Structure 1
Amino acid sequence: DRVAGHGRTLLLDDLFTTPAAEVSPAAAPSPADLAYLIYTSGSTGRPKGVEVPHGALAHLLLAFRDLLDSAPGDVWLAVTSLSFDISALELLLPLITGGRVVVAGEEQTRDGRALTGLAGKHGVTHLQATPSSWRLMLDAGLTAPGLTALSGGEALPLPLARALRERVGRLWNVYGPTETTIWSTAAEVPAGPTAVTVGKPIAGTAVLVLDPGGHPVPHGVTGELAIGGAGLARGYRGRPELTAARFVTDPVAGLRLYRTGDLARIRPDGSLLCLGRIDDQVKLRGHRIELGEVETRVQEHPSVAAAAAAVRGSADDPGGQVLAVYPVWRPGVPVPTLSELRAFLALTLPDAMLPGAVHALPSLPLTPNGKTDRRALPEPVRETPGDEAPGAGADEPWDEITTEVAAVWCEVLGLPSIGLDDDVFDLGAHSLTITRVAARIRDRIGAEVPLHVFYEEPTVAAIADAVTVELLAGEQ
């Protein structure tokens, strides 16, 4: 009753601080007005606030409306956190085209079977997810010939592209940094693809590949990818020098460009092939991470004299990729465990930037010019109780369920053994490994263990107890 008759837009601050009779509807925003401010990781340990105007967001939505032939009958499954800018597409595109949005719960977004079930139950026609999430759904048996799938946020490997394309009606690989408003290029992946590119610019967008001096290079030559057009952000909030360094003007065409820091080359057909980062920024499970920011926070711990960070492992490894930190401990002070270090870092870093492994070094490897040589950092050693079979070494013989749960954890984490009370997060577990373990327990033992159990008591003993409870409940 308090908002009746106040037009399309109402400021909530006014609603609760001003008598209802005195509240006036706010003016509709112009294309230049700020739509949202979103912070991304910073190389100096100081996050950057990207200012995205309404015009850039509207441009993105209209471009994908036309690209995907969006219609009122479309049903989108929203699986992305609001803190990830790509959520705007899956929430807002169906709303401007007369479609419908089905919002997945937080636990469901980590469960491939739950997402697959939601898609089938609600007749979902469009789903946007990272490659990591698509793997979860494929492992859960996703088969949706009527689904249009969008993959973005991290590189789409060719084997995954082939497997996913076989299970869905259409598959798009999309690419774009936050500073150019979510997605800037798109490629529809054909059946039986032989290569995966990020495609060509969407409507109203231009891309150039530049040499170190900022000059365009010919097709086929590798350089830094720069993006211009209607999707560009204003710049960084309160950071004029950084804005001037990254948002530049092409002296020939006079086009404003954002220098992405990504290496790329343009293929003969005009499509873009992305080749990784120029700097030390990485993507892990869809989240953009500046390793320098992680290192800065680790070095704030009183036990750390110096530190480096790197992503190690392969997405195809049993344990998956892991963010590893390499501290040099200060002499004469207590050394924290991985859990203690993660708890310290959680005070200033989001979950996606918390390390999954710690590998202490006597000193950091350096390049000839004195910088940390991340390529020389070793694979992190994950401490395990020994080389025995899963469950060996306990005072009492392990029952069948406990032994099977331990075996599943060893398979997924790539460990030779695991202790009854070992914290699985100390051994490299993360949200994706949790869902894999839950799926294998369900398939092998027949117990549907809620995902929150794995986070509340992350040990073999506690999870085995939960499995036993679920089985007993099923028998009753």
Structure 2
Amino acid sequence: MQNRQNTPKYPLSFDASVREIFPLICSGGRIVICRNPRELDILFDDVLRYRVSLLCVSPQVADYCNTRANELLSSGTLRVLISKGDVLLPSYIENLRGKIFTLYNAYGPTETIANYLHFRIEVPVSAIPIGRPISNTQAYILDSHMHPVPIGVSGELHIGGADIARGYLNRPDLTAERFIPDPFSDDTIGDGSGARLYRTGDLCCWLPDGNIEYLGRIDTQVKIRGFRIECGEVENALLAHPDIREAVVDARGEGTDKRLVAWVVGMDVGSTGRSPLRDELRAHLRALLPDWMVPSTFVFVEALPLTPSGKIDRKALPDPEGDIGVGAEYVAPGNSTE
């Protein structure tokens, strides 16, 4: 493939930069250093100016490219666009799919050093899978007893193979927790020890066609009033509403004040704060989820905060206080039971 050029999106401190730089240099390509990759308009202008042919970005950057798809098509130089690092929503690429370049959704934690799974996006889908394992890698979806789960049943994704890290520096406790012996392999690694699996902490399921679907993080499960809630499931239900572009769900508060909060970005940012949409969202969620999984608070924002690596920064989400959006006036308790 001639005249391959890539614009690194990730900082050098992030593991994804290794995969952006060295494979291209080793195969005769050229690296284009963006003037300011955090400013999306500058990044996009550099992609056009330097006729970049390979672009690896976060889903949020892919969404920006989607809004300027006609310019990408007019340039005619982009050949491959890879999204990784977070959940890629179908709406992020609706103007990019099926064009002259190839789209991939890739998955690979820092502990694996590589894009362990990838999915080529060719046809419209309601949820974009993270794909299948690449060569010399294995993927297992296991239950709490380390047993493989059937197709369509959720479990924790475990991955193994040649690129698994040795562990965490000076953290033997965490290494023992996340890097475990591979019960499905008799292979050994360079130091003579047995093969290992990395526990990703990601909730996934097998699809009938052999691809893997990402469902959310296991550590985003919260417990409110005795009910265990998978935040990713609530987020997916919110994203099924036609007026919602992005959504994050988490718990806020402690004890009896603990509540489920949803931060949402609407298709039409200027109108998402209206009260009727809050009511629509509640009705929409109640049709899909039990009442105890419906957020009590909706916070409407123009954009979700991102980390330097392009992932959603949950710690930087705005305080929901003052935007409780309960949709009804407060009524004082009428008796001791209430």
1:233 partner amino acid: A
**CA deviation after TM superposition for structure 1 residue 377, in Å:** 2.4
Residue from 265, 268, 276 that aligns with 2:208: 268
In the TM superposition, 1:186-201 aligns within 5 A as 186-193=118-125, 195-201=127-133
Q: Map 1:459-470; keep pairs closer than 5 Å.
A: none
CA distance in 1 between partners of 2:274 and 2:301 (Å)? 10
The question of 1:169 aligning with 2:28 is answered: no
Deviations 1:261-302 (A, max 9, x none): 111122232211111111128xxxxxxxxx9xxxxxxxxxxx
- Aligned partner (choices 75, 79, 82) of residue 5 of structure 2: 75
- 2:20 is aligned, of 79, 82, 90, to 90
Aligned partners of 2:246 and 2:271: how far apart in 1? 9
Q: Which runs of 5+ in 2 are unaligned?
A: 187-194, 223-230, 276-299, 307-338
Q: CA deviation at 1:247?
A: 0.7
Q: 1:377 aligns with which of 248, 260, 282?
A: 260
Write out aligned runs for 1:140-179 (5 A). Answer: 140-141=68-69, 142-144=71-73, 146-179=78-111
User: 1:156 aligns to what SS in structure 2?
Assistant: coil
Q: TM-score, normalised by structure 2?
A: 0.64
- How far residue 102 of structure 1 moved from its aligned partner, in angstroms, is 0.6
What residue is the counterpart of 1:411 in the other structure? 270
Structure 1 partner of 2:162? 230
Cα 1:125–1:412 shift into 2, 3 Å: farther
1:105-138 CA distance string (max 9 Å, x none): 22x5322x43332222212110011111111122
**1:215 and 2:147 aligned:** yes
Query: So what's the TM-score if we normalise by structure 1?
Result: 0.47
Percent identity between the two aligned chains: 32
2:64 maps to 136
* Alignment of structure 1 residues 181-330 onto 2, 5 Å: 181-193=113-125, 195-254=127-186, 255-280=195-220, 321=247, 326=252
Mapped partners of 1:258, 1:136: distance in 2: 33
Rate the CA distance shift 1:428–1:217 in 2: closer, same or farther, 3 A: closer
Distance 1:79 1:201, change over 3 A: same
SS in 2 for 1:163: coil
Match of 1:78, SS state, is: coil
Structure 2 vs 1, CA of residues 114 and 414 (structure 1 numbering), >3 Å: closer, same or farther?
farther
Aligned-partner Cα distance in 1 for 2:26–2:86: 27
Q: Secondary structure at the match of 1:109?
A: coil
Distance in 2, Cα, partners of 1:413 & 1:103:
37
AA matched with 2:66: L
Larger Rg: 1
Aligned residues: 255
Distance 2:154 2:248 in 1: 28
Counterpart position of 1:351: none
Deviation at 1:325, TM superposition (A): 8.2
Cα separation, partners in 2 of 1:432 and 1:238, compared to 1, 3 Å: closer
1:205–1:227 contact (8 Å) kept in structure 2: yes
Q: CA deviation at 1:82?
A: 2.2
RMSD: 3.6
When residues 193 and 324 of structure 1 are mapped into structure 2, their CA distance, relative to the original with a 3 A threshold, is: closer
State the secondary structure of the residue aligned to 2:139. strand
Alignment of 1:104-115 (within 5 A): 104-106=34-36, 108-111=37-40, 113-115=41-43
Q: Provide the C-alpha distance between the structure 2 equivalents of 1:82 and 1:323, rounded to a whole number of angstroms.
A: 30
Q: Deviations over 1:380-422 (max 9, x none)?
A: 79xxxxxxxxxxxxxxxxxxxxxxxxxxx97288489xxxxxx
Contact residue 149 and residue 168 of structure 1 kept, 8 A: no
1:83-102 deviation digits (Å, cap 9, x = unpaired):
33212222222111110011
1:101 to 23, 31, 41: 31
Q: Cα–Cα, structure 1 residues 140 and 364, in superposed 2: closer, same or farther, change >3 Å?
A: farther
